[in-house]
Amino acid sequence: MSILSANIIYSETRAESKNLGKVDKGVGCGVVGCKNPAVRSLSRTEMGGSGLSIGGEGRRVYLCHDHYKTWKKATKKSKSLERTRW
Ligand SMILES: [Zn+2]
């Protein structure tokens, strides 16, 4: 029974922390449609060119493990190609 109420509190806290944009336990990934917990925080400028659509606002962006990997790959690629987009 106590686990059930803890879960309810957890999801409420999670929604709040998302609005505040704090990196803490229970913060969700900032990618639109992703509900995984965030493991990394990056600045919004670092997200440029990654192809990920980030929701919310603020200078910090939070990524889950999967999207962090996606971001890493994407930025690595764009750096090694050294090409202009147009
Ligand atoms: Zn994610």
The confidence score (pLDDT) of residue 32 equals 94
The confidence score (pLDDT) of residue 18 equals 47
At 6-28, the pLDDT tens digits run: 565 555 555 444 444 445 667 89
Distance CA 48, CA 52 (A): 9
Distance CA 55, CA 15 (A): 13
Predicted TM-score (pTM) of this structure = 0.60
Q: Which residues of the chain have a pLDDT value below 50?
A: 15-22
- Phi, psi angle pair for 76, to nearest 5°: -60, -45
What's the farthest any 2 CA atoms get from each other in the chain? Answer: 58
- CA 30 to centroid of ligand 1, rounded, Å: 7
- CA 27 to centroid of ligand 1, rounded, Å: 11
Give the H/E segment covering residue 43: strand 40-43
Tokens 């686990």 found at = 3
